[in-house]
């Protein structure tokens, strides 16, 4: 069996709150193969970004901590690594594009210096060679006059340009896995398309794996091979992109897909999922989606379902009593 590039198993992340703790990520499992793009989707507050920060071990300056599970990168459990060893991997083999470039880039340092720092640290280049490599990476991500803009400050660049700088920084050491957290948020549609095309081409050129975190299903359809849907800190569905859009099996996934506006339909009120994501400190008993689900049954209120294969397919999973009931009926009829 081929070893996964990244394998997350039973990941739990807790945050201190009011003298106790709440689980923002509760038993998350997924994997990514070399050269594969996995989409991680769900509403705001479902645990997507916390999952990515847990993988990168970037919870040190927050009230959060990984309380259980493993994150294996090329077979090595990152959760157990000493911080010094984790710093060697982070930014080198494992890189991340953060959600808002203006808060991720240092406003008082020139772009070139911020790009050169990880290059010198991980690739061992001298200052001059690192600067040349930084300019090369800026050109690679489509920034014009790179040799001039390398000396600019972040505030002198547009939002799209800053996002390109973040991509250049993440790609500068040729990572094996790239985590992109909402890489097109707050960008206009034209720039979004350019950024997605850029990430797609760079991924194919370097044959790297990618974890794409987004709430935009259009981006998922454009870029991803497989999709993991999260709700209230849990994985509720996993499928290939084609299967997910053609036949979503979890009611939450169906709600997400139906809430996307369609171009070729008469103007009407947009569909929405009733209710709100539950408060982490007041989670409902049983299925966490039950209070918002139109198919809720007594069993849903009494016991939380497990994430199980759909129709016996290992790569097609759903955390839903209704799906499990349909599987059982299908097996009986067969």
For residues 275-286, give the mean pLDDT.
Answer: 88
Note the pLDDT tens digit of each residue in 160-172. Answer: 888 889 888 888 8
Specify the pLDDT at position 243.
93
Least confident of 66-70, 103-107, 190-194, 235-239: 190-194
For residues 135-149, give the mean pLDDT.
Answer: 90
What is the percent of the chain with per-residue pLDDT over 70, rounded to a whole number?
Answer: 94
Specify the pLDDT at position 211.
96
| Residue 321 in this model has a pLDDT that exceeds 60 | yes
Query: Residue 333 — very low, low, confident or very high, per pLDDT cuts 50/70/90?
Result: very low
Note the pLDDT tens digit of each residue in 78-98. Answer: 999 999 999 999 988 999 988
Specify the pLDDT at position 267.
55
* 97 contacts 105 by C-beta, under 8 angstroms: no
Helix (H) / strand (E) containing 9: strand 6-17
Specify the pLDDT at position 218.
86
| Residue 274 in this model has a pLDDT that exceeds 80 | yes
Specify the pLDDT at position 330.
65
Specify the pLDDT at position 2.
64
Could you give the CA distance from residue 321 to residue 254 in angstroms, rounded to a whole number? 15
Specify the pLDDT at position 265.
59
* 143 contacts 149 by C-beta, under 8 angstroms: yes
Q: Where are the beta strands (DSSP E) in 215-266?
A: 226-231, 234-240
| Residue 182 in this model has a pLDDT that exceeds 80 | yes
| Residue 261 in this model has a pLDDT that exceeds 90 | no
Q: Alpha carbon of 246 to those of 138, 167, 272, 307: distances in Å?
A: 39, 32, 19, 20
**Assigned CATH class of 6-93+173-333:** alpha beta
Partnered with residue 308 across adjacent β-strands are 318
Least confident of 21-30, 95-104, 143-152, 157-166: 95-104
Could you give the CA distance from residue 180 to residue 173 in angstroms, rounded to a whole number? 16
Reported pTM? 0.90
Note the pLDDT tens digit of each residue in 34-57. Answer: 999 999 999 888 999 999 999 999
Note the pLDDT tens digit of each residue in 202-243. Answer: 888 888 999 999 888 888 998 999 999 999 999 999 999 999
| Residue 332 in this model has a pLDDT that exceeds 60 | no
Domain regions of the chain by residue span: 6-93+173-333, 101-172
């Amino acid at each position: 069996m081929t070893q996964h590039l990244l394998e997350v198993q039973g990941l739990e992340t807790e945050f201190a709150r009011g003298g106790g703790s709440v689980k923002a990520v509760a038993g998350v499992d997924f994997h990514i193969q070399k050269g594969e793009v996995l989409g991680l989707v769900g509403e705001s507050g479902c645990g997507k970004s916390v999952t990515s920060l847990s993988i990168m071990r970037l919870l040190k300056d927050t009230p959060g901590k990984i309380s259980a599970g493993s994150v294996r990168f090329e077979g090595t459990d990152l959760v157990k690594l000493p911080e010094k060893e984790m710093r060697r991997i982070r930014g080198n083999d494992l890189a991340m594009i953060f959600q808002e470039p203006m808060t991720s880039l240092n406003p008082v340092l020139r772009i070139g210096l911020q790009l050169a720092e990880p290059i010198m640290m991980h690739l061992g280049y001298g200052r001059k060679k690192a600067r040349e490599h930084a300019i090369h990476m800026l050109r690679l991500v489509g920034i014009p006059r790179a040799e001039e803009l390398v000396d600019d400050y972040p505030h002198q660049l547009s939002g799209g340009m800053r996002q390109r700088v973040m991509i250049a920084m993440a790609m500068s050491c040729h990572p094996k896995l790239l985590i992109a957290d909402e890489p097109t948020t707050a960008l206009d549609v034209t720039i979004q398309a350019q950024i997605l095309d850029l990430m797609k081409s760079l991924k194919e050129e370097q044959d790297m794996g990618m974890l794409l975190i987004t709430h935009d299903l259009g981006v998922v359809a454009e870029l991803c091979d497989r999709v993991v849907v999260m709700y209230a800190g849990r994985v509720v569905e996993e499928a290939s992109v084609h299967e997910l859009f053609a036949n979503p099996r979890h009611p939450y996934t169906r709600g997400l897909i139906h809430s996307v506006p369609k171009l070729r339909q008469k103007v009407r009120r947009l569909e929405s999922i009733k209710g709100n994501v539950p408060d982490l400190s007041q989670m409902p008993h049983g299925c966490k989606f039950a209070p918002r689900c139109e198919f809720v049954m007594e069993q849903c209120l009494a016991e939380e379902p497990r994430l199980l294969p759909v129709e016996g397919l290992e790569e097609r999973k759903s955390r839903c009593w209704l799906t499990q009931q349909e599987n059982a009926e299908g097996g009986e009829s067969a």
